[in-house]
């Protein structure tokens, strides 16, 4: 599932491709399910004949700010992708919506599992909705003081805390597990029980993990083959490695169910 690094890679690639300042001449919603509960006609009308002012990421959302003071909000979910393509590549079984650009190009949203969503809001209204989200972990707002203040009032186990978008924006199952391993913190310990020093170690591990993942995924996404769940050179130390040896102590990586998801960890190194 796309997490912060994957979504950030898509945003950066679209910027590199010149989507900012591009003209959206016409919008086409191929599968109306993708816009529910909004009417697909509203998406088409409000995003046609506009200019892209800015493209950004908020948590796991791709946001395209338009010249008519509206913003497209695109969530990739499990298998979505958003790419700049030649105009003739706007058909196919996984195409859900596309926007005609100048220069015989198109912005194409594909989603094999049909779980992704495309919505449009007045930009001010969308920004207000985003105020419910936690701080961006790669932003200046993600300070030791703010992270500690949020953690101190939560009784959640640390991994579930990190995956709660109202606490920290953009983290998902993969990178939460990787950051916890790097910080030597158990995914099961209540986050409010962590000392200030351990919280700071975790905050730093989150930032370092995400920076490395963004760099890796961005390189992988730019190459042939389109969207990937992770970059080739980002080393997963615990996620998906149940039964494999811990890179620190050599003991086997364990896997347990937590909050309906698989949690990977080293019981010896993470306390």
Catalytic residues: 2-3, 60, 261
CA-nearest of 38, 191, 174 to 118 is: 38
Contact 11, 62 (CB under 8 A): yes
CA 44 to chain centre: 25
DSSP tally for the chain: helices H, then strands E: 7, 10
Distance CA 183, CA 270 (A): 8
What stretch of H or E contains 163? helix 158-163
Distance CA 4, CA 211 (A): 10
Distance CA 264, CA 257 (A): 9
Contact 150, 61 (CB under 8 A): no
CA-nearest of 122, 128, 234 to 174 is: 234
Contact 266, 246 (CB under 8 A): yes
DSSP 217: H
| Ramachandran area for residue 238 (φ above 0: left; ψ -120 to 50: alpha; else beta) | alpha
């Amino acid at each position: 599932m796309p997490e912060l690094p994957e979504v950030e890679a898509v945003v950066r690639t679209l910027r590199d491709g010149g989507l900012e300042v591009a003209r959206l001449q016409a919008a086409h919603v191929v599968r109306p399910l993708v816009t529910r509960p909004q009417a697909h006609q509203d998406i088409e009308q409000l995003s046609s004949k506009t200019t892209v002012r800015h493209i950004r990421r908020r948590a796991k959302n791709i946001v395209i700010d338009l010249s008519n003071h509206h913003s497209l909000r695109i969530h990739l979910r499990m298998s979505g992708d958003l790419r700049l393509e030649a105009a003739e590549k706007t058909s196919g079984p996984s195409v859900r919506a596309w926007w005609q650009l100048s220069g015989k190009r198109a912005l194409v949203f594909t989603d094999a599992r049909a779980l992704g969503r495309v919505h449009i809001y007045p930009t001010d209204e969308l920004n207000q909705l985003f105020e419910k989200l936690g701080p961006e972990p790669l932003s200046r707002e993600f300070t030791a003081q703010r992270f500690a203040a949020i953690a101190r009032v939560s009784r959640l186990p640390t991994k579930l805390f990190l995956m709660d978008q109202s606490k920290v924006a953009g983290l998902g199952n993969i990178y939460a597990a990787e950051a916890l391993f790097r910080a030597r913190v158990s995914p099961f310990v209540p986050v409010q029980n962590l000392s200030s020093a351990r919280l700071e170690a975790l905050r730093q591990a989150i930032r370092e993990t995400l920076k490395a993942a963004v760099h890796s995924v961005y390189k992988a996404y730019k190459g042939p083959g389109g969207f990937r769940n992770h970059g080739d050179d980002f080393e997963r130390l615990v996620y998906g490695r149940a039964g494999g040896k811990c890179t620190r102590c050599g003991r086997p990586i364990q896997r347990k169910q937590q909050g309906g998801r698989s949690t990977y960890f080293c019981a010896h190194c993470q306390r």
